[in-house]
Amino acid sequence: MSSDKTDLKPQFTRGAVDILSRKTVYDGFFKMHKLRLRHRLYRGGWGGEMERELFVRGHAVGVLLFDPEHQLVALIEQFRIGALEREAGPWCLEVVAGMVEEGESLEDVARRELQEEAGLEVQELHFIRSYLPSPGGTCERMHLFCACADLRGIEGHFGLAEEHEDIRLRVFPLETVLEAVNSADDAIDNAASIISLQWLQLNRSRLETGATRG
């Protein structure tokens, strides 16, 4: 049977996976589950049983800060263990971000993290998109927003000491940041920041118009 090239939906859904067992093999700062499962095959029937480890993370929220009037972007800089062997070092430029806690809406998380990591309160949040950062090994889903604010003179140091956060908030000209994203430079090399900035590049005129009207 030929596939319809205009249909982006996968052939199978969640019902085509049979979870035979699941157990927690690590429960620390993060969690790790080991699953024994099988799933249906494109050629028909079921595949054999397999084991897979799953890095268990919930939903996360990222917020890009943009100043449409003064053409500025704010990013946070902080230590990241996953970037320990990165050529430029493990201090990374990123959008403001945090994990969703039970009972919180995505917007609540965005505003909480903006206060904790940038000392800002914003009213309007522009939804960018949500995506799976690495579905081959983790269940995390990232939800991205853009918040507009006056970013002049807001640079400083933020974060919760009890969570070992040491965050530097930095402000850059918009064009400098976009040039870095569109080059081979690894100054900004994490998915959430790149996706957010590419979205901004496509939607900046709409945000600028809104700021002028406001």
Domains of the chain with bracketed CATH: 14-56 (no CATH), 59-213 (3.90.79.10)
- 193 burial type by CB count under 10 A (0-12 exposed, 13-18 middle, 19+ buried): buried
Residue 163 designated active-site: yes
DSSP 55-108: EE--EEEEEEEEETTTTEEEEEEEE-GGGTT-TT-SEEEE-EEEEPPTT--HHH
- Active site residue: 87, 102, 162, 163, which one? 163
Q: Which two tokens stand for residue 39?
A: 């799933």
Residue 1: which pLDDT band, with cuts at 50, 70 and 90? Answer: very low
Q: What sign does the CA torsion over 109, 110, 116, 119 have?
A: negative
- Hey, how many other C-beta atoms are within 10 angstroms of the C-beta on 145? 25
- 8 Å CB contact between 58 and 39: no
Task: Write the pLDDT tens digit of every residue in 11-41.
Answer: 999 999 999 999 999 999 889 999 999 999 9
pLDDT band at 213 (very low <50, low <70, confident <90, very high): low
* Cα distance between residue 203 and residue 193, in whole Å: 15
Q: pLDDT (tens digit, 9 = 90+) per residue, 44-54?
A: 999 999 999 99
